[in-house]
Structure formats: structure tokens, C-alpha cells
Amino acid sequence: MRVDSDTGTRHSVNITSHHLDVNGRQAIFDFIKHESAGTQRVAGLVGLILHALETGGVVLVDELECSLHPLLMRELLLMFKKRRTNPKGAQLIITTHNTDVLDDSILRLSKLLSSARP
């Protein structure tokens, strides 16, 4: 909810997400009440990440792993490492408690660059 400081008017937005139920019918969820914290986190980051990748910008995220599946976190990191998805050299600066991302196959630049060249 946002409050207009001049008029005191309250503005709110209702976000819904759509899924198929077990019978294949569309089910509508209130995004804030029913979606997982990880889904909400990705939704909040995806626009920033895509913009940075398109423009060569910088994204800073505190505790990237918070509410994210480890494989999703890995894929987000690799998006910034691969020239195919990051041709303009965007940067992702994170803090994390997840030591799995320190693996050479994820963060070591020389291996990724040498494997990307013919």
C-alpha cells in the first residue's frame, strides 16, 4: 500500500497469479497471501535482473539465497556469468551464506571463459 503524502489517499494494488488445479482448471491466487516467499522474491528481482542484463547495469542483492531454491540461485548467478545471457557485462553483487555457490563451476571466471571459446 502507498499513501499519497499530499492528499493522504491510500493506493493499493492487488496482484494475482494463475495456476492450473489438479483437474486442469484455472485457479487464481492472491499473490501476497498464497504464493511462496521464493516466488515473491523472484518476482521482485526479475525486472531488475533483466534490466541490468539488457543495459549492462549493476544489481545488488543482500542474502540472495533467502527463500530461493539453491538451483534457482545457481541459475541466476550463471545468467550473469555467461556471455550469451550477459553480452553487455552486467554485474551482480550479492551477499550470501550459501557456500555451494563458491564452487569453481559457478564463480570461477577462467573456467567459464575458456569453455565458452572455441
pLDDT of residue 98: 81
Span 40-97, pLDDT tens digits: 999 999 999 999 999 999 999 999 888 888 888 889 999 999 999 999 999 999 998 8
Identify the CA nearest to 64 among candidates 105, 101, 94. 94
CA distance 81 to 1: 36
Note the pTM of the prediction, 2 decimals.
0.69
Burial category of 87 from C-beta neighbours within 10 Å (exposed 0-12, middle 13-18, buried 19 and up)? exposed
CA distance 106 to 30: 35
